[in-house]
Structure 1
């Protein structure tokens, strides 16, 4: 009905108010009020006719007060956040003096974990290190991680991260690495197996709890200096042997060779395909492709025989030629 009235006004140039009410039928007050509020129609100087307005002009006229209100609200939000955050040190210092800081806090609620992590990231002042197993990360998750990482880097915080070699095949992860390394972050990958961990300013370590079924795992927040230092040294030891995350062909071939050698070791240990895939941070399908290549190269007729030959010949200690098609 509103479109009908507006169309008539456009065609007539000036639509008498009485005709507009007739066109809008029984809902004329509601329809006309809506068109007037959107600035699509305006009353003439005599107040007895409606003049159509260019929709682009109406958009500008309607948007200005809304944009002004949005800016006002954003300013209020910014001031509120500043006021509340300024009280955080006071509150935390009081808690430390009154109750002491618990050396270990376990949180199971994913929302509580995210809130605590967000707080630690905001308060981080010198260095943030992390270990992220499991190959490439979810693109949606990485979008949020990218924003957080860039914000920390903009504050001059040193950021280092370790992934498994299989993360190199993830386009989303490669995009993340490209963005953050341009701003000074350092990312490396390793063939080793490890658990998810983060350390803030060498003062607080966060270790993910074991996942049960499809439930989102909780996390343990550790502030005990001895434990945090121990976990930090684990990171440093792994960091020294890890390779810089680069996209060059030489690096890709080298990491592929390391993956194959590690799979050989796990085959010799008697692990099943699914267990090997989980440790390597790759899909079972990709893992089985590697195993088939290795089995063919060994001249084995079965997965079991390949594992036996590896153990018997001591091949798990040396490199295996990388397959020309061994891309993951």
Structure 2
């Protein structure tokens, strides 16, 4: 202690206080050979040790919530006075309750035995939702279900999604990204599909459950059209820089339509800030004074026709 006091210029009381704080933070630990000797601990390991009890508590609460939700959702058929997954007249059913929608999707996923198709527009994906869906997706893949997923290009930069994609691709799934996608969609065994109920972005969430064969065939054809033009999601690649040309062409095409930055960003599944950074770079390269002029110049240079014909 005296040596440390000489080196640091601190008093013994101050050193003892700092030592106790470091021990409390798990940044110091006794040596295995001599308990009187304290050794430094990697801060990452210390953080993991401190967080472990909290994470265990969070897990237990999450399991309790899931168990409660699962138990109560079993009462939904009785509440609605019908069989939740039974036939529906006309092959189209509108479901407004998000919890019921999720329950129906879960049921369809569990029953699926041949093919699952998923369209996930937008940018950032909720890591908690990804973690919750992973076991179900892996279970379906183990049953031999063919699983194809479409995301938008900006999702390639999200580490938690890259990890999720790596896990399901390793199990046999196919994942691609596109510059633009239609609304969110799930199709199971080409027999039942879920599409958003809303007709505008500010409308309450819900879903339309489709079982009509002609509509299902149309939705599958729409999926295949997006799939053909999409790019494989390479999880060990450099984020979405390798698809930046597609993004830039898509931005130019939308600018030529006179759309606002917010609309362009929403269609491409990226933040407005990121979108404006791309736009500023494109305007500088094209020597354009406005966003619309950038789109016009791109058309004059044949960049937009290149996008259409590739």
TM-score by length of 2: 0.67
Question: Which is higher, the Rg of structure 1 or of structure 2?
Answer: 1
Q: Is the 8 A contact 2:122 2:152 kept in 1?
A: yes
Aligned match of 1:171? 159
Aligned match of 2:289? 301
Aligned match of 2:117? 129
| Deviation, structure 1 residue 241 | 1.6
Matched, 1:290 2:265: no
Q: Is the 8 A contact 1:136 1:172 kept in 2?
A: no
| Deviation, structure 1 residue 114 | 1.0
1:214–1:226 Cα change, 3 Å: closer
Q: Is the 8 A contact 2:194 2:210 kept in 1?
A: yes
263, 281, 298: which is aligned to 1:310? 298
1:216–1:118 Cα change, 3 Å: farther
Q: Is the 8 A contact 2:152 2:268 kept in 1?
A: yes
| Deviation, structure 1 residue 273 | 0.5
| Deviation, structure 1 residue 175 | 1.1
| Deviation, structure 1 residue 173 | 1.2
Gaps of 5+ in 2: 1-66, 75-81
Separation (CA, whole Å) in 1 of partners of 2:273 and 2:239: 23
Q: Is the 8 A contact 2:157 2:240 kept in 1?
A: no
Separation (CA, whole Å) in 1 of partners of 2:131 and 2:239: 26
Number of residue pairs the alignment of both structures matches:
229
Aligned match of 2:244? 256
1:130–1:168 Cα change, 3 Å: same
Separation (CA, whole Å) in 2 of partners of 1:160 and 1:212: 27
Q: Which secondary structure does the structure 1 equivalent of 2:163 belong to?
A: helix
Matched, 1:153 2:155: no
1:102–1:180 Cα change, 3 Å: same
Please give the per-residue CA displacement for 1:92-131, whole angstroms capped at 9, x wherever unaligned. Answer: 7x965xxx65400110101111111111111111111111
Aligned match of 1:274? 262
| Stretch moving more, 149-158 or 180-189 | 149-158
Matched, 1:210 2:198: yes
TM-score by length of 1: 0.64
Q: Which secondary structure does the structure 2 equivalent of 1:290 belong to?
A: helix
Separation (CA, whole Å) in 2 of partners of 1:280 and 1:205: 24
Q: CA RMSD in A?
A: 2.7
Matched, 1:107 2:87: no
| Deviation, structure 1 residue 249 | 4.8
Please give the per-residue CA displacement for 1:291-324, whole angstroms capped at 9, x wherever unaligned. Answer: 00000101123334323433444432337xxxxx
Q: Which secondary structure does the structure 2 equivalent of 1:194 belong to?
A: coil
Q: What pairs with 1:64-143 in structure 2 (closer than 5 Å)?
A: 96=87, 101-143=89-131
194, 208, 215: which is aligned to 1:220? 208
